[in-house]
Copies of this chain bind each other. A is one copy, B any other.
Amino acid sequence: MTHKKQAILDSAQYLIASQGYDATSTRSIAKRAKVSEGLIFRHFENKEGLMQSLLKRGEVTMEEPILNIESLTHPKVIMKHLIGLPFNLNEVQRDFLKIYYPLMFKFKYDQLEFLSRIHDKALAAFKALDYSDPNAEAETFMMILEGAFVYMLLEKSSQPFILFETLLLKYELS
């Protein structure tokens, strides 16, 4: 991966995250990356292909916190960490999700892998905690988490920590 290819990916990530895919021209991506427009297509074949690379790279940035959680064993600790996910995003992860969400509204974009891994972990936890209907609980939990992600990405809350704590309370984890 050359330096310029990196620059293209970074530029695209930034611009698409803030303006959306359609509204971001390859021209503007190239300019921000200080690169000729043609180079984009030598490295990625397509604007669509560039997007795919972006998503692939994005999944990687989500790997670390998930792996971290997957190494845990105590269900209450697991739940605590799962709930914490939307409230502890770094900038790269935020940019990735800002790209990912609008995409889902355009195409019925395939579920990302990390979401299903969260689901599995939550399901196991609910079972361990003897919830009466762990499947329903797990899906509902995913729905709530989705809300938290969106809420955080859109910066709708001025005190996110309170939301986090309230959720913990709801699941009797504090």
Contacts and interface: CB of A to CB of B under 8 A. Distances in A.
Given A20-B22, A23-B106, A98-B105, A136 B151 contact: no
A39 interface: no
Interface string A55-68: 00000000000000
Given A105-B98, A162-B136, A143 B151 contact: yes
A88 interface: no
Identical chains bound together, number: 4
Interface residues of A, number: 38
A20 B108 contact: no
A145 B150 CA distance: 11
Contact of A170 (B23, B102, B170): B170
A85 interface: no
Q: Which 3 A-B pairs have the closest CB atoms?
A: A147-B147, A22-B22, A140-B166
22 contacts: A20-B102, A20-B106, A22-B23, A98-B105, A102-B102, A102-B106, A105-B153, A108-B154, A108-B155, A111-B156, A136-B166, A139-B157, A139-B162, A140-B166, A140-B167, A143-B144, A145-B147, A146-B147, A146-B151, A146-B156, A147-B148, A147-B150
